[in-house]
Structure 1
Amino acid sequence: METRRGRRTKVSTVDTYDVVVLGGGPTGENLADRVRAAGLSVVVVEHELVGGECSYWACMPSKALLRPAAALADARRVAGSREAVTGPLDADAVLKRRDAFAAQWTDDGQVAWLDSAGIALVRGHGRLEGVRRVVVQAPDGSENVLVARHAVAVCTGTRAALPPLPGIEQAGVWTSREATSAGEVPGRLAVVGGGVVAVEMATAWAALGSRVTLLVRDDTLLDRMEPFAGELVTEALEAAGVEVRFGVSVGGVTREPGGEAVLDLGDGEKVTADQVLFATGRKPATAELGLETVGLTPGSWIWVDDTGLVVDVPGEWLYAAGDVNRRALLTHQGKYQGRIFGQAIADRAAGRDLDIEDWGRSSATADRLAVPQVVFADPEAASVGLTLADAQKQGFRVRAVDYEIGDVAGAELYADGYKGRARAVVDLDREVLLGVTFVGPGVAELLHSATVAVVGEVPISRLWHAVPAYPTVSEVWLRLLETYRG
């Protein structure tokens, strides 16, 4: 027995693997799977649930909350089915279905998958202790020492960032975790923020019966997308009964003896709610990883090159994949990095030259150049690549081509009075697409075609020969091209 940080612990024997992965979320799982498929031994270290944030508190439960609302809205948009809808969502049934998608917050299935893939699992909190060495403290206080022959990959993701407001620690506010896992519908919900989490959770809980107030510091929602995305989503939220207030800042929050939460907006103005969600950004989950033992700053983002190597650490052994490197804070991009960086680790371990030229297998570039994202509001907002403003800032000579999706025959069939818009940002010098945005009901399934066009740098002259089926919403592609040609 020995004492470590004031606690008596039992140190196990040292276990050696080719690769040690810190974090068992989607990014870590994909990286581990890639190196294992290449013949390397690998262990995943996880202190919560295997499957990570996406499986239990983000992607899956949030979309499970949103899907019933979208299905009901779609039914109400079409004559015939509209008349068959006789009531609101069954909140208990929606929450029960959500719980099933979150696997009742157990990870047995994910652990079984690791085992089937030949990936070892060590439960506990892992921290670096110098080069290629990780110490894992298990829940019972014992410690395991893991040594990596080739690489350690940090895949620990991010946590919700709460602003340093008076009273916030005592008020029992929600972050995204509580918003996606709550077991009851709050009568009144105040949502602070104007980004994806704020918009999606305002949409979901309003549909389930909450009276939602959305408090936005800026003057628009979804400010990283084309301006019309925020405008159309705002209009729809207000039509659904959400009070959207722009240009307001929360100065403090208190919880009254009766249970109400009171937000101070300054100048004596207050908002009262039963629950408050702060959707105000993310921070890297790196504060307790032992980064200082390898010359990095605890709590900081970890910067990497296109092969995943940490740029500020000597040698070719420390990698960081997923949200923790801040290249693209999206699950699908983290999984993409896991596959690419896992291949880079395998190639280096085998002494092979890395394939890093022009979208090579060992080099991640899609997370910088063509990042797809869907906001599952009603209407949906889907985008990939650059907005018009971003393309102009980067010096491209561009033109934005817009089309009202509701003017497409397939959209008219999809919903009576369909309202939505599409925009393609065209590089006029090369005549390829730099970015595409769709806003409207059901547009999420249009996004991959746009991603292929942007990533593949498909010439517009070639896109003319990709004929959309009639009558589908995809015919908007033809209308965009016709508008561009004039």
Structure 2
Amino acid sequence: MTETESIAYDVVVLGAGPVGENVADRTRVAGLSTAIVESELVGGECSYWACMPSKALLRPVIARADARRVPGLAHLAQGALDAPAVLAHRDYEVSDWKDDGQVAWVEGIGADLYRGLGRLAGPRTVTVTGPDGEQHVLTARHAVAVCTGSRALLPDLPGLSEVNPWTSREATSAKAAPGRLIVVGGGVVAVEMATAWQALGSQVTVLVRGKGLLSRMEPFAGELVAEALTEAGADVRIGTSVESVRREGGTLVVVTDAGDRLEADEILFATGRAPRTEDIGLETVGLKPGSWLSVDDTLRVTDSEWLYAIGDVNHRALLTHQGKYQARIAGAAIAARAAGVPLLETDRWGAHSATADHAAVPQVVFTDPEAAAVGLSLAEAEEAGHRVRAVDIDLSRVAGAGLYADGYRGRGRMVVDLDSEILLGVTFVGPGVGELIHSASIAIAGEVPINRLWHAVPSYPTISEVWLRLLEAYRG
């Protein structure tokens, strides 16, 4: 039996991942009635198939690598990882793919949860088709927020649909390590999953079509990660494309553009993302289904008064933490407009402006070594027309690095705007550097001048002393 119900809310949120949850939290705190719609697990991609499971797989890998570099401890870290224990802990971190805890959190903030496929049905209207076919019609007085995220994008390759390739979801949820794994791609998912599964017992081959790994970071980041993967036993092939893929019996066969024939048990394609907007009713409000949604700095869709697109769907920065930041900005903007605030704070670094999307997007790649960056690379800064200077430091020169790991290898770079003498970008590569990048984010977001940073004294002996070495190199 199908039942139709029409309910009015102040805000309707499509997607209950971390981004949608944060929008709902911010609008509820502001006193707005909020409904949140989810077709899969409450908690979204990050909780079950991305951030949480991937880091659960990678943490033992990094810990063992660090221990191997510590005198007096190295001999205890030479054996293989206990793969079943690692996978069991991964399952624990994703709550065995059950979302009871996340549902309780949504209910705890006072938002109403609707399970099912939510689709726009004209301005300010969302229809929800539940798992049993029941229908609900939700109307939004102030805003509909699209927070549906992105999905893996598979290339159009002969034979691909017949071999059941892995995407990021299968790579983070697999129940056992395949004997041989081919990873296609050179971005974050590719290098993290290559790192994890190589350490868990797979023989990994990485095929990178471009000039190197992690192409959106400084070139040295990808170079150091490629070196480490190779030393760990992976076969990293740069400038190599896949021409075809097929299965012969139980064996997967890949042919490259060089004519090489490679055999494996599984193949992971980490070759891009597409917005999950193909079936949410965009056509009913004059937008193209399956498209990325263009927004202003309050995260409101261009030329709309009520539709917001937050997180991956706006294609600004496909990162959970950046989507949650956008959600806080959007939530504040929605609440202000609902309250009739005549003029929002949309100036640079204003309360209703997602300025960090343009100036201070941080990212950590949890490989061995870690790669972390925020802001612009040298090439991006030059392309944007800034007059800049890059300052590089070998992290082995930092006293804290030598204490952190025997034979520490790493590199740091800061990109300085010579006209304003503030930082435009910072990149660190090396063991443990993920914990350094927030200090760089603060320096960039705060537009802290170099002469003021000189007085931010790093504790000795920590790897953070890299800041002193960078500043000394800049000042000469």
Letter of the aligned partner of 1:446 in structure 2?
Answer: L
Deviation at 1:58, TM superposition (A): 0.2
1:270 to 261, 271, 290: 261
Trace 1:267-416 onto structure 2 (pairs within 5 A).
Answer: 268-313=259-304, 316-352=305-341, 353-416=343-406
CA contact (8 A) 1:11 1:145 kept: no
Normalising by the residue count of structure 2, what TM-score does the alignment of the two structures yield? 0.99
Trace 1:56-205 onto structure 2 (pairs within 5 A).
Answer: 56-205=48-197
Letter of the aligned partner of 1:350 in structure 2?
Answer: A
Query: Aligned equivalents of 1:460 and 1:278: distance in 2?
Result: 42
Deviation at 1:312, TM superposition (A): 3.9
Deviation at 1:11, TM superposition (A): 3.8
Aligned to 2:448: 458
Deviation at 1:84, TM superposition (A): 2.2
Deviation at 1:148, TM superposition (A): 0.7
Normalising by the residue count of structure 1, what TM-score does the alignment of the two structures yield? 0.97
Deviation at 1:86, TM superposition (A): 4.6
Q: Give deviations 1:94-127, integer Å, cap 9, x for gaps.
A: 0000111111100000000011110110000000
2:248 to 245, 256, 259: 256
DSSP-derived class of the 2:142 partner: strand
CA contact (8 A) 1:328 1:368 kept: no
CA contact (8 A) 2:68 2:78 kept: no
Q: Give deviations 1:369-397, integer Å, cap 9, x for gaps.
A: 11000011100000000000111111111
Trace 1:4-19 onto structure 2 (pairs within 5 A).
Answer: 10-19=2-11
CA contact (8 A) 1:382 1:437 kept: yes
Aligned to 1:484: 474
Aligned to 1:229: 221
CA contact (8 A) 2:168 2:189 kept: yes
CA contact (8 A) 1:420 1:440 kept: yes
CA contact (8 A) 1:296 1:312 kept: no
Q: Give deviations 1:3-25, integer Å, cap 9, x for gaps.
A: xxxxxx72422011110000000
Trace 1:20-59 onto structure 2 (pairs within 5 A).
Answer: 20-59=12-51
CA contact (8 A) 2:412 2:429 kept: yes
Query: Aligned equivalents of 2:243 and 2:148: distance in 1?
Result: 31
Query: Aligned equivalents of 1:66 and 1:473: distance in 2?
Result: 22
Query: Aligned equivalents of 2:139 and 2:334: distance in 1?
Result: 16
Gaps of 5+ in 2: none
DSSP-derived class of the 1:232 partner: helix
DSSP-derived class of the 2:137 partner: strand
Letter of the aligned partner of 1:214 in structure 2?
Answer: V
Q: Give deviations 1:117-140, integer Å, cap 9, x for gaps.
A: 101100000000000000011111
Query: Aligned equivalents of 1:266 and 1:401: distance in 2?
Result: 38
Letter of the aligned partner of 2:316 in structure 1?
Answer: R
Q: Give deviations 1:441-460, integer Å, cap 9, x for gaps.
A: 00000000000001111001
| Structure 1 segments (4+ residues) deviating >4 Å | none
CA contact (8 A) 2:183 2:270 kept: yes
CA contact (8 A) 2:374 2:427 kept: yes
DSSP-derived class of the 2:201 partner: coil
Query: Aligned equivalents of 2:241 and 2:464: distance in 1?
Result: 40
DSSP-derived class of the 1:169 partner: helix
Aligned to 1:5: none
CA contact (8 A) 1:401 1:484 kept: yes
Query: Aligned equivalents of 1:152 and 1:134: distance in 2?
Result: 8
DSSP-derived class of the 2:390 partner: strand
CA contact (8 A) 2:5 2:135 kept: no
Query: Aligned equivalents of 1:99 and 1:471: distance in 2?
Result: 37
The Cα RMSD (Å) is 0.9
Query: Aligned equivalents of 1:31 and 1:359: distance in 2?
Result: 19
Query: Aligned equivalents of 2:258 and 2:312: distance in 1?
Result: 38
Aligned residues: 475
CA contact (8 A) 2:297 2:355 kept: yes
360-369 or 124-133: which moved more? Answer: 360-369
